[in-house]
Amino acid sequence: MPRPSAETASFIPSPETQSQMRAALGLFATGVTVVTADSVAGPMGITVNSFTSVSMDPPLILWCPAKNSKRHDVFAGASHFALHIMGEAQDDIARGFVQSAEAFDGVEWEANDKGVPLISGCPARFECHIRDRIDAGDHSVIIGHVDRVSVSPSVPRVFMSGAWGAFLHPEDV
């Protein structure tokens, strides 16, 4: 039998309820990722949490940059990118790319054969070429075909309700 709970609040999404909508979406825990690409201005990065797996065959992932971001056009126009799942020891790196696209100072990285910056030490990294770009409201959906995956034993960072945390791995409980 279900436990009694507090009354559920409902609302219709609108400009007036945008903060409520953001808070409701924030209840879904996501990973913290940094997407990198090469550009005419040099290496670029952006911290995002709008990432998901799309397909295993072919191997596809997606992420969604906001159109009002100054970095949108660089990433939407790139032919290749890398998506890095950030680890709990990489908070400074992830926060750096929230503030600046050029936050590579002090970050251990190297460029792959396509010029895409690859950040070292991430729990997982997906090197991709763009398969599709889809217009989706105030964001673009970028679908990447995964060309190479790298993994390390570091613990991934989690984001929920505006806070960063970690998930206990079942082996550690």
Non-local CB neighbours of 108 within 8 Å, separated by 6+ positions: 119, 120, 121
**pLDDT for position 149:** 97
Non-local CB neighbours of 79 within 8 Å, separated by 6+ positions: 114, 129, 130
Q: What does the angle CA 12 – CA 15 – CA 21 come to, to the nearest 5 degrees?
A: 55
**pLDDT for position 7:** 80
Q: What is the pTM of this model?
A: 0.86
What is the residue-averaged pLDDT of the chain?
A: 88
CATH number 2.60.40.10 is the correct assignment for the domain at 17-161 = no
Greater model confidence, 123 or 169: 123
Q: Which sequence spans correspond to the domains of the chain? A: 17-161
Q: What are the pLDDT digits (tens) for 24-73?
A: 877 777 789 999 999 998 999 999 988 999 999 999 999 999 999 999 99
